[in-house]
Amino acid sequence: MVIGFQLRDTLRNKRDISFAVDRNDRLEQIIDLIQTHYVDSVKTASLYHDAVKGILSNLDPHTTYIPAEDLSEINEELEGSYYGIGVEFAVLRDTIVFSEIIEGGPAQKAGMQIGDKLIRVGDTLVAGRGIHSEKIVAMLRGKQQSKVEVWVKRVNKPGLKELNIYRDEVPLRSVDAALMLDPHTGYIKIDRFAANTYGEFATALKKLIKSGASSMVIDLRDNPGGYLESAVAVADEFLDDKKLIVYTQGLHQAQQRYTAVNQGMFEEGRLAILINENSASAAEILAGAIQDWDRGIIVGRRSFGKGLVQEQYELDDGSALRLTIARYYTPSGRCIQRPFSKGREAYEAAFEARFQNGSLLRNDSLSVTDTTKYYSLIHHRVLYGSGGIRPDVFVPADSGKLTHGLLYILLSDGLQNALWDYYAAQYPHLKSYHNLTAFQRDFHDEERVLQAYLNALPPAEKMLTKSILTKAQNRTYLLLQIRAQLARILFSDNGYNLISSHQDDVIQEALQMLASRRYSMLIGGQGG
């Protein structure tokens, strides 16, 4: 799992570490002696890498060294774009099938469609050869305005179609979904806080308000964090009157305060923030600010607990050091960073223990490692710091819904083959659903996809799968997922999230809270 991190400055303003760190003669002398006199040959790069790891092992768990070969990909996620053709794909039966075409991207402009099968790239045949996803990505990405010729097999059409695509900058979306859960409640799912997150979020929020949203659900589950500034900008849309959102401070860093400065689009109206054990860093900044100001309710499970700020320094060889320079504090003064005094291994083990000791199944909000009490700033509710953001409304992980057997089925190649075979066979019918509302109301063909999947299984696997599905709850959940995955093919992530929300316990709990009197009681500190 990728753990989220904060950067005080954008990556376009990276610092060169050479101004701060002089050559360490002792380290150089040791490596020179090893190269000159050691009994066997050694790789100098490995020695430096191991030396850096040894140094950082004595610091906090979020100070990290990033090798040059990994830096570009990591930066892309935060910069929010890359140069390519703008597609997502799945590998089915040794063939690439395009599962999403980025709106306004190069591939869409060239006429590519969802369901197209990739047969050739330039002079290279890429179908039926067991080709790997990494190789396809490398072939489709390239310099801006460079041309790539592809030949695709279109759904239900004979022959191949040639497309000439000119690579360009492709945005990496960080807002996965923006939709109306019911006539009055908007829903926005933020995947991470990248450079372009606020722009995407503001566009989505404005659209939902125009659609009639008087209550809002912001889903930060599994959001690992990212840019502090992006989280601050999102929080600004909910908080008024120059309210403090977060402040940072370190031994060598003066206190820096971030406050609401704009007239927010949703400063009134009921608000629920969804978090879980993988919500970290910038996601916790947003949740903490909303909770501290009694602006909304926090629903889900205790967050990861990362309250440290990193700054990136470039090294001469193209690698980088992300160095923790400060802690961040919520408006009430909480630092929600989990303890790391026992070392990195113990720090990671403590997080993993949450999946083993049952804390995800029961409300662990009272298991406080730091008993210092903080108070919300409007109604003076008791809050705690170290260990993450504790939800106002706890929703346990539903271990009974997604069993190992169901997970195996959902991730199987066989189910994906059945879904795409159905899409190809029913293409004209599926395209008759002009919007997600019509699909949600009128589509009822999940059983056909399930039967096609079962019929293609070997006898022993078929028997095992049927035994899993004899439990009504398992069958119901699988059918809903088939429906949701077809909705994703037709209507992107909005389709998947709307359909799957009907069996999402955290979303359903948030909807009930937003519509009940208990919302006001929680905000006012009158009950849990």
Which residue type, as a one-letter code, is found at position 221? Answer: R
**Does 493 reside within a domain?**
yes
Domain boundary at 114, 145, 171, which? 171
- Residue 272 lies in domain: 175-396
Please tell me the predicted confidence (pLDDT) of residue 370: 65
Please tell me the predicted confidence (pLDDT) of residue 258: 97
Per-block mean pLDDT, blocks of 10 residues, the chain (528 long):
40 44 70 88 85 89 91 82 92 92 94 95 86 89 94 92 95 94 97 95 98 98 96 98 96 95 96 97 98 97 94 88 95 93 85 79 60 91 90 87 88 95 95 94 96 96 94 94 97 96 96 96 74
Task: From 451, 301, 328, select the one nearest 389 (Cα to Cα).
Answer: 301
- Cα dihedral: 207, 209, 210, 213 (round 10): 120
Which two structure tokens, joined as six digits, stand for 251? 């031994």
**Does 484 reside within a domain?**
yes
The reply to whether 194 and 323 lie within a common domain is yes
The reply to whether 145 and 163 lie within a common domain is yes
Which residues make beta-bridge pairs with 326? Answer: 309
The reply to whether 158 and 180 lie within a common domain is no
Domain boundary at 171, 189, 210, which? 171
* Burial 247-267, CB ≥16 within 10 A → b, else e: bbbbeeeeeeebbbeeebbbb
**Does 116 reside within a domain?**
yes
Q: Give the 3-state secondary structure of residue 518.
A: helix
Task: From 49, 100, 89, select the one nearest 70 (Cα to Cα).
Answer: 49
The reply to whether 379 and 501 lie within a common domain is no
**Does 523 reside within a domain?**
no
**Does 23 reside within a domain?**
no
Please tell me the predicted confidence (pLDDT) of residue 359: 73
The reply to whether 353 and 410 lie within a common domain is no
**Does 461 reside within a domain?**
yes
Q: What is the CATH number of the domain that holds 247?
A: 3.90.226.10
**Does 217 reside within a domain?**
yes
Task: From 456, 473, 367, 380, select the one nearest 414 (Cα to Cα).
Answer: 456
Contacts of 159 (CB under 8 A, 6+ apart): none
The reply to whether 295 and 340 lie within a common domain is yes
Which two structure tokens, joined as six digits, stand for 293? 């100001």
**Does 65 reside within a domain?**
no
The reply to whether 355 and 244 lie within a common domain is yes
Which two structure tokens, joined as six digits, stand for 95? 């063939």
**Helices assigned H by DSSP within 194-269:** 197-210, 228-236
Please tell me the predicted confidence (pLDDT) of residue 20: 42
* Burial 57-82, CB ≥16 within 10 A → b, else e: eeebbbbbbbeeeebeebbbbbbbeb
Please tell me the predicted confidence (pLDDT) of residue 4: 42
Contact 280, 304 (CB under 8 A): yes
Please tell me the predicted confidence (pLDDT) of residue 369: 60
Q: Give the 3-state secondary structure of residue 357.
A: coil
- Cα dihedral: 15, 18, 19, 20 (round 10): 90
Q: How many domains does the chain have?
A: 3
The reply to whether 227 and 350 lie within a common domain is yes
The reply to whether 138 and 250 lie within a common domain is no
The reply to whether 414 and 351 lie within a common domain is no
Average pLDDT of every residue of the chain: 90
pLDDT digits (tens, 9 = 90+) for 282-292: 999 999 999 99
Domain boundary at 137, 171, 205, which? 171
H helices then E strands: how many in the chain? 18, 22
The reply to whether 257 and 371 lie within a common domain is yes
Please tell me the predicted confidence (pLDDT) of residue 355: 80
Which residues make beta-bridge pairs with 246? Answer: 258
The reply to whether 190 and 261 lie within a common domain is yes
